[in-house]
Amino acid sequence: SQFGRIVATARYLPSKVVTNNDLTQWLDTSDEWIQSRTGIKQRHIAEEENTSDLCTQVAKKLIEEQNIDPATIDFIIVATMSPDYTSPSVACIVQGAVGASSAMAFDLSAACAGFVYAVATAENFIRSGQRRGLVIGGEKTSKLIDWTDRSTAVLFGDGAAGVLIEAADEPYITKQNLNADGRRSKSLVSGHRPTNSLFYQEESQGGLTMDGRGIWNFAMNDVTTSLKECIGSDSVDYYLFHQANRRIIEKMAKKLKEPLEKFPINLTNYGNTSAASIPILLDELVEAGTIRLDGTQNTVFTGYGGGLAWGNVLVRL
């Protein structure tokens, strides 16, 4: 049987940068509050580009830099909670834009856990016979947010990144641990589509809402427990944690009794990019030479967020 291996990474960030100070022009907030509570200094914001444009740039980079024939791609999975449309999927738009004519393509909705869910899904496809796929996390969170709500508007950013996964003879994505709890689905709500039919009309519920403290406790309790379960007695070189809040990552490092150096952080520059946060971080680490993609570094990807959905995959990179 065949197993999935991450062989290349890429990212694409829209060019507009919005700093914390920029936000104070219309929000009662401060650079000091945002940095001390979250670690975020700035975020990238897409203007005319939509989620599919960001993801297409990532797919093109992966194809061009690896010099592969797009017709040899078997699947494209896009993890997103901010698709351009409910149909077509972002993944289908990307498939058409890059000419991946043999690829099945679909979006996966698991909010900030989306990339982890998508990597696990890709691994399972490869174990059942597919040979090559793109897994992309891409978000335009800026279109979901209520920009007058300081408690959420300061937290998020736009961006996309992804990986090329290919069949290999031995396992690289060695463990997967995916979870959900729909009883807490109201803790993070976004993208409500009001019914406007001949038979029933409904008011819009407005922009993204989040129970910040609830999500914080969820990260500290459920996510920590699942991460420990996933790791077991394995030793880990790097923890690539969903980039929502610096303080959550610092506390997590303490709970795991691991040095903070094993938890790379880049939310400073991007804010919370939801499903894109882990692959953006991964691509930066590959670019810096910290992660070598030579199969010797034991790494965990941990994502958590709306759903509630959370998960971990243990990956040799």
Residue 171 binds ligand ACO (CB under 6 A): no
Of 32-40, 52-60, 174-182, 198-206: span binding ligand ACO (CB under 6 A): 32-40
Q: Pull the structure tokens for residue 231.
A: 């790791």
Catalytic pick among 112, 230, 245, 269: 112
286 vs 313 by CB, closer to ligand ACO = 313
Contact (Cβ atoms closer than 8 angstroms) between residue 280 and residue 273 = yes
112 makes contact with ligand ACO (CB under 6 A): yes
Least gap, CB of 82 to ligand ACO (angstroms): 10
Would residue 272 show up in a list of annotated catalytic residues for this protein? yes
Stretch that binds ligand ACO, among 5-13, 64-72, 242-250, 262-270 (CB under 6 A): 242-250
Q: Distance (Å, rounded) from C-alpha 137 to C-alpha 74?
A: 18
Nearby residues of 6 by Cβ (< 8 Å), 6 or more positions away: 119, 163, 164, 165, 172, 173, 293, 315, 317
Judged by DSSP in three states, 67 sits in coil
- Candidates 6, 55, 215, 231; binder of ligand ACO (CB under 6 A) is 215
Which of 73, 118, 230, 248 is close enough to bind ligand ACO by CB under 6 A?
248
Closest approach of Cβ 4 to ligand ACO, in Å? Answer: 25
Whole-angstrom distance, CA of residue 176 vs CA of residue 164 = 18
Single out the residue of 137, 207, 306, 311 in contact with ligand ACO (rule: CB under 6 A).
Answer: 306
Q: Which two tokens stand for residue 261?
A: 């150096």
Tokens (6 digits) for 187: 């803790």
Q: Which SS3 state, helix, strand or coil, does residue 49 take?
A: coil
Q: Which residues are catalytic?
A: 112, 242, 272
